[in-house]
């Protein structure tokens, strides 16, 4: 049977406060990069749960998603390993809540608040070209209601298993 191709599903959070965007600086296989708080969808969670969890893990801030800014598909090839991955990214905007006294995820060096212009000035350090694109689309007012996203009960660990084909 041929290998089934599957994109890697990720989530990202756009958090703006007084014209500044909450960003992270992280160690990657291609060096130190700047990104929104972002990460992979884990088993048994919804997209909204994933972005809340990733934001907390990477910034120590609570996050309340309020809208979906966009869905982005991109292909990435590591400069170091040559490995190729296709990502399907769901980017949310919302508000940051309380900042907790907790360590950041492994590989996260620090959080920082940047303006759109500061972010544009360091594009060579972005994790992907989608980082600035998401901010620009957010600033242009692109929003879709969270009600567009549906997570079937079969996704959650406690739910009965349902077979789909």
- CB of 15 closer than 8 Å to CB of 135: no
> pLDDT tens-digit profile of 48-101?
999 999 999 999 999 999 999 999 999 988 777 788 889 999 999 999 999 999
Residue 67 lies in a domain: yes
Residue 154 lies in a domain: no
| Alpha-carbon gap, residue 68 to 128, rounded angstroms | 19
| In the predicted structure, residue 158 carries a pLDDT above the cut 90 | no
Q: CATH number of the domain that 44 lies in? A: 3.90.79.10
Residues spanned by the domain of 68:
8-143
Q: Choose among 53, 69, 73, 59: nearest CA to 14.
A: 69
Residue 50 lies in a domain: yes
Total domains, the chain: 1
Residue 40 lies in a domain: yes
Residue 151 lies in a domain: no
Residue 55 lies in a domain: yes
């Amino acid at each position: 049977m041929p290998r089934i191709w599957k994109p890697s599903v990720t989530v990202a959070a756009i958090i703006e406060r007084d014209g500044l965007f909450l960003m992270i600086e992280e160690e990657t296989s291609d060096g130190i990069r700047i990104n929104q708080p972002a990460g992979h969808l884990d088993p048994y969670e919804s997209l909204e749960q994933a972005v809340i969890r990733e934001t907390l893990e990477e910034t120590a801030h609570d996050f309340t998603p309020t809208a979906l800014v966009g869905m982005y598909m991109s292909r990435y090839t590591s400069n170091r390993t040559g490995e190729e991955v296709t990502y399907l990214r769901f980017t949310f905007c919302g508000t940051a809540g309380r900042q907790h006294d907790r360590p950041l995820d492994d590989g996260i060096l620090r959080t920082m608040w940047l303006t759109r212009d500061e972010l544009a000035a360091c594009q060579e350090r972005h994790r992907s070209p989608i980082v600035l694109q998401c901010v620009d689309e957010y600033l242009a007012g692109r929003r879709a209601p969270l009600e567009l996203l549906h997570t079937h009960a079969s996704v959650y660990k406690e739910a009965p298993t349902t077979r789909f084909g």
